[in-house]
């Protein structure tokens, strides 16, 4: 079985690579043995590229046949997971295990986030009809049927966040919303990730409602947030950062998870945080700045109870100017409220206990991975000062008052640990 991959840059889609199963490995799905090869003509033009022109930073463009198992890790970024996977499995009447993976990648990865896709087996249904925000927010039956028909759910989303229904929608020039890929680029005004609560439970609605407040708060704390979200009718609208509308059309930026950059082709993998830091050191075009940003995000995740911090909730954004930087923050919410109980996924080895890292210990682990570690300590101590007013700022950003009261102790514990960081790195004997 073969999967033909395309990549978008320079205003058009290009045949880029092929994934082929070896022997009877199809039944093993993403765990099976495969050949991965770049298209020869494409390799001639882009030999050695590992930026937005490559399928993965870990697989620079070449003429080699890469054989092994499991699949290359980047493929799991576009393989439907979570709610999107369940939708596809039901539509195709498949058993929801690894044996479904090949059918899912062939049928369900034609419009994932980023600039990579599987060559569509058939054109998407026409989208003459658009929908208003009111129709989307009210779960209008016509929109629900439309989203199902167009399979508008997000591919590659795993973890508890991935269990929430998510839709990639394109806003047309007239303001109506269409499924991603169903609208010509010339008619696109902006692109949205739209999220509904996981269920009708109060806790799930509270998580989504406060995700909006959390992103506002992160922005106020100086973290990298693309655009502040819009929350209305129990629906969260987040402007996509992997799409940029220009006078010449739509630029699609590459997007690769830190899970993929770490070479891990598995869902739910508990990858040590320092391994994710190493991935940024290896592939970011501004690694020190991105490493500091990653540590700051984890500080806020601990302080605010965003326990679903798996490695697919962080990604490298690969823009058309050749830059490869930690993407703006996404999937940042009070997941400790989830009734199923979600422990922290990615932890700091040997310096974390009960979900609370020792931040001085984290600094000692991170500094050797940086080219210039001098800015790290001052940045985190400044962040500690900013956390002094965090409860009040959260309220200003729209967080629920009862939630803020539950967070006060967590925030103070994190702030105190940050203040324990020595201002200057001690010299090593």
Give me the pLDDT at residue 126, please.
Answer: 60
Which of 4, 245, 256 has the alpha carbon at shortest distance from 110?
A: 4
168 and 261 part of one domain: no
Domain residue limits at 342: 255-419
Give me the pLDDT at residue 181, please.
Answer: 86
pTM above 0.85, yes or no: yes
Give me 30's structure tokens: 């993403």
Residue 88 has pLDDT above 60, yes or no: yes
Give me the pLDDT at residue 267, please.
Answer: 86
359 and 262 part of one domain: yes
Give me 277's structure tokens: 């830091």
DSSP class of residue 360 equals: H
Asked if the structure places residue 114 within a domain, the reply is no
Question: Three-class SS of residue 391?
Answer: helix
135 and 10 part of one domain: no
187-231 pLDDT, tens digit each: 999 999 999 998 888 999 999 999 999 999 999 999 999 998 999
In whole angstroms, give the CA distance from residue 149 to residue 133: 19
Residue 67 has pLDDT above 80, yes or no: yes
Give me 182's structure tokens: 């169903």
242 and 265 part of one domain: no
> b/e map of 139-159 (b: 16 or more CB within 10 Å)?
eeeebeebbeebbbbbbbbbb
Chain-centroid distance of CA 414 in Å reads: 25
Asked if the structure places residue 369 within a domain, the reply is yes
Count of all residues that appear for the chain in the document? 429
**H-type helices in 222-375, by residue range?**
258-261, 273-283, 287-304, 359-366
Give me the pLDDT at residue 151, please.
Answer: 67
Task: Give the residue from 108, 129, 160 where a domain finishes.
Answer: 108
269 and 413 part of one domain: yes
Q: What string of DSSP letters covers 55-71? A: SBTTB-S-S-EEEESS-
Q: How many CA atoms lie within 13 A of 361 on its CB side?
A: 12
Give me 205's structure tokens: 């609605």
Task: Give the residue from 229, 246, 263 where a domain finishes.
Answer: 246
261 and 392 part of one domain: yes
In whole angstroms, give the CA distance from residue 49 to residue 42: 11
11-62 pLDDT, tens digit each: 999 999 999 999 999 999 999 999 999 999 999 999 999 999 999 999 999 9
| Number of domains comprising the chain | 3
In whole angstroms, give the CA distance from residue 323 to residue 52: 8
215 and 129 part of one domain: yes
Query: Is there a contact between 43 and 20 (Cβ–Cβ < 8 Å)?
Result: no
Asked if the structure places residue 228 within a domain, the reply is yes
Task: Give the residue from 62, 77, 108 where a domain finishes.
Answer: 108
pLDDT tier for residue 161 given thresholds of 50, 70 and 90: very low
Asked if the structure places residue 425 within a domain, the reply is no
Residue 153 has pLDDT above 80, yes or no: no
CB atoms within 10 A of CB 329: 22
Report the CATH number that the domain containing residue 300 is assigned in CATH: 1.10.1070
Question: Three-class SS of residue 348?
Answer: coil
286 and 415 part of one domain: yes
In whole angstroms, give the CA distance from residue 78 to residue 28: 18
């Amino acid at each position: 079985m073969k999967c033909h991959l395309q990549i978008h840059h320079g205003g058009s889609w290009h045949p880029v690579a092929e994934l082929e199963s070896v022997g009877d490995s199809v039944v093993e799905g993403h765990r099976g043995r495969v050949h991965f090869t770049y298209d020869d003509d494409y390799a001639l033009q882009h030999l050695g590229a590992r930026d937005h022109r490559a399928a993965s930073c870990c697989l620079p463009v070449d003429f080699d046949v890469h054989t092994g198992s499991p699949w290359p890790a980047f493929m799991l970024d576009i393989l439907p997971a979570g709610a999107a996977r369940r939708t596809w499995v039901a539509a195709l009447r498949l058993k929801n295990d690894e044996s479904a993976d090949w059918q899912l990648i062939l049928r369900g990865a034609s419009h994932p986030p980023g600039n990579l896709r599987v060559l569509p087996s058939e054109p998407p249904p026409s989208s003459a009809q658009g929908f208003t925000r009111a129709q989307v927010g009210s779960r209008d039956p016509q929109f629900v049927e439309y989203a199902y028909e167009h399979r508008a759910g997000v591919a590659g989303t795993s973890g508890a966040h991935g269990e929430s229904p998510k839709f990639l929608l394109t806003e047309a020039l007239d303001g109506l919303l269409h499924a991603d890929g169903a609208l010509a680029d010339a008619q696109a005004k902006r692109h949205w990730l739209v999220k509904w609560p996981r269920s009708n439970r109060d806790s799930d609605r509270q998580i989504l409602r406060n995700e909006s407040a959390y992103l506002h708060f992160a922005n106020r704390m100086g973290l990298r947030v693309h655009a502040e979200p819009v929350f209305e009718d129990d629906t969260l609208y987040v402007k996509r950062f992997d799409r940029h509308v220009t006078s010449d059309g739509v630029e699609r930026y590459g997007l690769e998870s830190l899970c993929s950059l770490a070479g891990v082709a598995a869902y739910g993998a508990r990858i040590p945080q320092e391994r994710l830091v190493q991935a940024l050191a290896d592939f970011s075009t501004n690694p020190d700045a991105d490493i500091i940003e990653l540590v700051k995000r984890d500080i806020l995740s601990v302080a605010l109870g965003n326990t679903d911090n798996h490695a697919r909730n962080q990604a490298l954004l690969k823009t058309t100017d050749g830059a490869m930087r930690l993407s703006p923050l996404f999937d940042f919410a009070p997941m400790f409220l989830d009734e199923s109980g979600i422990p922290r996924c990615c932890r700091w080895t040997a310096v974390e206990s009960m979900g609370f890292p020792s931040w001085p210990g984290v600094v000692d682990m991170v500094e050797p991975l940086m080219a210039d570690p001098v800015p790290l300590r001052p940045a985190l101590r400044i962040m500690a000062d900013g956390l002094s007013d965090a409860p009040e700022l959260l309220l200003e950003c729209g967080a629920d008052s009862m939630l803020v009261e539950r967070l006060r102790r967590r925030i103070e514990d994190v702030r105190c640990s940050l203040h324990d960081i020595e201002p200057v790195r001690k010299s090593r004997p």
